[in-house]
């Protein structure tokens, strides 16, 4: 293995080793940022971002002094300081145009800032985050391309290793931020930033199993306008007549043979294929034809997911007198109400229970 040696003088060699140390430290900080972001430690993200910016700035400053630039002109050996400088410049751009930008917005985010107030979500932070993530995504893609273009031919092993590691980290970061950007770019419009949106919310009953999870037991029409969320109409599977011989959408014989033909004629069985886009398309058609009105999208939830949500919001008092919490949601909705409501009126009473609106949140 080639040793990392510099024959252009002790001062220049020391500078290269110093900058290489800064680059290694920057890679450590990037790893810390990923851990903090995953834990939603936004305060930590801001602090680490500042530390990263200071480190990259220090590295770039050292690679732009006359001694360093002179070292790049030395035949053969000059390829090493050139490659190191180019890597330092790329990381500095990433720190300023991607990490610092996102950190600035993220440091102002919290569960409290995103929590709906009187039924309305503040879209300001979400719009700002979208702008930051979009800019960061562009910067990371450009940085990844720049690092890939850095020539590592004839450089020493340590420089090659640093280049490969940096390229791998940037490719991974660009992919992650790109995925986030694909969501944040549509989030404001989903929440009614550009006008009212109407959604059909499916409550899947896991006590009646289908391939996707549970039957489409109850549906709620939810409207969102500039972040303001309201419940409009509610319906149940019993409000949608059976469509024997008249499928809600053109029947696909392959799907019928593989799953069931009833998924095309029964609202509650629209979830028979383990594919949410299919269930959404069917449910949207059932809603628009049986209940009327345009549906912009379909949202699905089940008691298990609801229990997790209640863990964040706290218990909810229902108009029936029940208190729905993370601890009893699954048992109450999938078991107890079936014992409570029996006989001929049982299905109607069960549907009525599932359509009940909460009176208030008991905490927060």
Cβ atoms of residues 52 and 97 within 8 Å: no
Task: State which of 168, 190, 212 marks the end of a domain.
Answer: 190
CA distance 117 to 120: 5
DSSP tag of 239: G
pLDDT of residue 10: 52
pLDDT value, residue 13: 61
C-alpha 187/C-alpha 181 separation (Å) is 10
pLDDT at 238: 76
Predicted local distance difference test score (pLDDT) of residue 199: 94
**Any idea which of 66-75, 197-206, 219-228, 306-315 has the lowest mean pLDDT?**
66-75
Q: Are residues 16 and 163 in the same domain?
A: yes
* Mean pLDDT (whole number) for 271-282: 94
Query: Does the pLDDT value for residue 7 go beyond 60?
Result: no
Are 22 and 147 in the same domain? yes
Structure confidence at residue 39 (pLDDT)? 67
Q: How confident is the model at residue 137 (pLDDT cuts 50, 70, 90)?
A: confident
Q: Do 64 and 137 reside in the same domain of the chain? A: yes
Asked if residue 3 belongs to a domain, the reply is no
Q: 142 and 279 share a domain?
A: no
> Rounded to whole angstroms, how far apart are CA atoms 82 and 209?
63
Residues 276, 202 contacting (CB under 8 angstroms) = no
Using the 3D structure, point to which of 190, 217, 236 is the last residue of a domain.
190
Residues 96 and 203 in one domain: no
- Write the DSSP symbol of residue 228: E
Residue 359 has pLDDT above 60, yes or no: no
pLDDT tens track for 100-113: 887 788 777 766 77
CA 183-186-190 angle, 5° bins: 115
Residue 4 located in a structural domain: no
pLDDT per residue over 114-133, tens digit each?
777 888 888 888 888 888 88
Q: What is the pLDDT of residue 45?
A: 72
pLDDT at 267: 92
| Whether pLDDT at 295 is above 80 | yes
Q: What is the mean pLDDT of the chain?
A: 82
Residue 40 sits in a domain whose CATH number is 1.20.58
- pLDDT of 358 higher than 60: no
Q: Against a cut of 0.75, is the pTM above it?
A: no
Q: Do residue 267 and residue 237 come from a single domain?
A: yes
Domain carrying residue 302: 197-361
pLDDT of residue 338: 85
Which of helix, strand or coil describes residue 336? helix
Q: Band of the pLDDT at 273, cuts 50, 70, 90? A: very high
* pLDDT confidence of residue 362: 42
Does the residue 134 lie in any domain? yes
How far is Cα 284 from Cα 300, in angstroms, rounded to an integer? 12
Candidate ranges 103-107, 175-179, 188-192; pick with highest mean pLDDT: 188-192
**Closest listed residue to residue 141, CA positions, set 171, 183, 99, 110:** 171
pLDDT at residue 307 above 60? yes
pLDDT tens sequence across 241-262: 888 888 999 999 999 999 999 9
- Asked whether residue 118 is assigned to any structural domain, the reply reads yes
Q: At residue 6, does pLDDT exceed 70?
A: no
Statement to judge: residues 247 and 125 lie in one domain? no
Mean pLDDT on 123-150: 88
Element (H, E) at 67: helix 66-71
Lowest mean pLDDT among 97-111, 148-162, 301-315: 97-111
Terminal alpha carbon distance of the chain = 62
Q: In the predicted model, what is the mean pLDDT of residues 269-295?
A: 92
Q: Domain for residue 2, yes or no?
A: no
Whether 173 and 238 share a structural domain: no
Tens digits of residue pLDDT in 33-84: 667 766 657 677 778 788 878 878 877 887 777 877 777 787 877 888 888 8
- Total domains in the fold of the chain: 2
**Contacts of 4-12 spanning 24+ positions with Cβ under 8 A:** 4/156, 4/157, 4/158, 4/159, 5/156, 6/71, 6/77, 6/80, 7/77, 8/71, 8/74, 8/77, 11/67, 12/67, 12/68, 12/70, 12/71, 12/81
Final residue belonging to a domain, choices 162, 190, 218: 190
Q: Is the domain of 107 the same as that of 56?
A: yes
Of all residues in the chain, the percent with pLDDT exceeding 70 is 88
Residue 144 and residue 20 in one domain: yes
């Amino acid at each position: 293995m080639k040793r990392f040696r510099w024959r252009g003088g002790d001062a220049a060699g020391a500078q290269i080793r110093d900058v290489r140390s800064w680059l290694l430290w920057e890679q450590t900080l990037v790893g810390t940022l990923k851990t903090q972001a995953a834990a939603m430690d936004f305060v930590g993200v801001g602090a680490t971002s500042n530390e990263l910016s200071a480190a990259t700035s220090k590295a770039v400053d050292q690679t732009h002094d006359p001694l360093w630039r002179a070292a790049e002109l030395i035949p053969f050996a000059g390829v090493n300081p050139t490659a190191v400088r180019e890597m330092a410049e790329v990381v500095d751009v990433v720190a300023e145009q991607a990490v610092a930008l996102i950190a600035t917005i993220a440091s102002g985010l919290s569960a409290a800032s995103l929590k709906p107030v009187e039924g309305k979500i503040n879209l300001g932070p979400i719009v700002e985050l979208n702008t930051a993530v979009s800019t960061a995504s562009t910067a990371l893609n450009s940085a990844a391309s720049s690092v890939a273009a850095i020539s590592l031919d004839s450089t020493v092993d340590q420089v090659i290793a640093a280049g490969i590691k940096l390229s791998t980290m940037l490719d991974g970061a660009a992919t992650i931020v790109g995925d986030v950007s694909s969501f944040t770019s549509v989030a404001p419009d989903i929440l009614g930033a550009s006008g009212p949106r109407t959604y059909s919310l499916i409550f899947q009953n896991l006590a009646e199993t289908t391939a996707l999870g549970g039957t489409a037991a109850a549906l709620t029409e939810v409207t969102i306008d500039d972040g303001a969320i309201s419940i409009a109409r509610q319906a149940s599977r019993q409000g949608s007549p059976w469509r024997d011989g008249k499928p809600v959408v053109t029947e696909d014989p392959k799907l019928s043979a593989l799953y069931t033909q009833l998924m095309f004629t029964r609202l509650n069985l629209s979830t028979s294929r383990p594919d949410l886009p299919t269930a959404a398309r069917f449910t949207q058609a059932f809603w628009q034809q049986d209940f009327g009105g345009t549906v912009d999208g379909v949202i699905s939830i089940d008691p298990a997911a609801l229990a997790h949500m209640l863990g964040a919001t706290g218990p909810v008092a229902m108009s029936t007198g029940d208190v729905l919490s993370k601890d009893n949601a699954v048992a109450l909705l999938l078991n107890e109400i079936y014992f409570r409501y029996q006989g001929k009126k049982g299905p109607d009473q069960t549907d009525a229970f599932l359509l009940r609106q909460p009176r208030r949140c008991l905490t927060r």
